[in-house]
Amino acid sequence: MAPTIARALTIAGSDSGGGAGIQADLKTFQELEVFGMSALTAVTAQNTLGVQGIYELPPQAVAEQIDAVVEDLGVDAAKTGMIANIEIMEVIAEKVKAYAIPNLVVDPVMISKSGHSLLNEDARLALKRYLLPLATVVTPNIPEAEVLTGLQLDSMEARKEAARMIIGMGARSVVIKGGHLPDGEAEDLFYDGQEFSILSSPRFETPHTHGTGCTFSAAIAAHLAKGEAVLSAVRQAKAFITAAIRHPLHLGGGHGPTNHWAHRLQEGKA
């Protein structure tokens, strides 16, 4: 019998503070009524004030977690977050190809908002070689898109050029996220190699934006797992993250987590 629930896998690091990483991803999957599974790449000691410790897992441990869930439970979509190093990246690419995982969202996490490196230097450029050619959608923020393309992204024209370059690297589509723009709307640029779409929301003046990128990419993966088209998945993920930032939880003394329940307020489910 075919499974009755969509299944999504996050391949990412653990954030002990619960705002980013696999914790944010699994909360998002659950809220969007998708069965969530995880393959952990690293454990971080982290809270709203910063990252206090990083412990990378052996690549073999990542491989075995992916084997375990794919071979038994099945995966309709996967997303990657913190990958830590090239060896883990190679394992992920090998497994995604070997199992022909149908939808892959690559969030090219490089640096946390608190300024800690979550992917070592040599692995940053290896992303292009190993993971972008496998991506259904890749979701860089502006600094990450600058690292991938070498461009300075201080205008919409430059962001469009970067999006074209990223499609040229093999990704099927890209969203250059606008959270790091200096002012104006929180404007994300989507490109699928044919058409550009701009997804805008008000920009909220809040320190509680820890894990926005993780939550956004997990929501895209959840909607892809349910069989939605890429642009539709991205639009719904944008609505999900906008609600999560609009209604903060006010936790912690620094950059607090977003509110994964908030979409229920908009949908009248709360």
Ligand X SMILES: Nc1ncnc2c1ncn2[C@@H]1O[C@H](COP(=O)(O)OP(=O)(O)O)[C@@H](O)[C@H]1O
Ligand Y SMILES: Cc1ncc(COP(=O)(O)OP(=O)(O)O)c(N)n1
Active site residues: 177, 209, 211-214
**Residue facing ligand Y at closest CB distance:** 21
Number of residues interacting with ligand X: please give it, by CB under 6 A: 18
Q: With CB cut-offs between 5 and 8 Å by kind, which of ligand X, ligand Y, none does residue 233 bind?
A: none
Of 31, 76, 188, 228, the one binding ligand X by CB under 6 A: 188
Least distance to ligand Y, CB of residue 157, Å:
25
Evaluate whether 37 touches 9 at the Cβ level (below 8 Å): yes
- Asked whether the CA dihedral 253, 255, 260, 264 is positive or negative, the reply is positive
**Degrees (nearest 5) of the Cα angle 113, 87, 167?**
65
**Minimum CB distance to ligand Y smaller for 102 or for 252:** 252
177 touches ligand X by CB under 6 A: yes
Q: Which of 148, 207, 203, 212 is nearest to 174 (CA)?
A: 148
Q: With CB cut-offs between 5 and 8 Å by kind, which of ligand X, ligand Y, none does residue 118 bind?
A: ligand Y
Give the whole-angstrom CA distance, residue 138 versus residue 99.
19
Buried b (16+ CB within 10 A) or exposed e, 149-171: beeebeeeebbeebbebbbebeb
Quick one: which segment of 62-70, 84-92, 177-185, 259-267 binds ligand X (CB under 6 A)?
177-185
112 touches ligand Y by CB under 6 A: yes
How many CB atoms sit inside 10 A of residue 126's CB?
Answer: 17
Number of helical (H) and strand (E) elements in the chain, helices listed first: 9, 9
108 touches ligand Y by CB under 6 A: no
Write out the binding residues for ligand Y, residues 31-50 only, by CB under 6 A: 44, 46
Binding mask 195-214 for ligand Y (x = CB under 6 A): ---------------xxxxx
**Minimum CB distance to ligand Y smaller for 71 or for 205:** 205
> SS3 helix, strand, coil % of the chain, rounded to 5?
40, 20, 40
Sites of contact with ligand Y (CB under 6 A)? 12-15, 20-21, 44, 46, 81-82, 109, 112-113, 118, 210-214
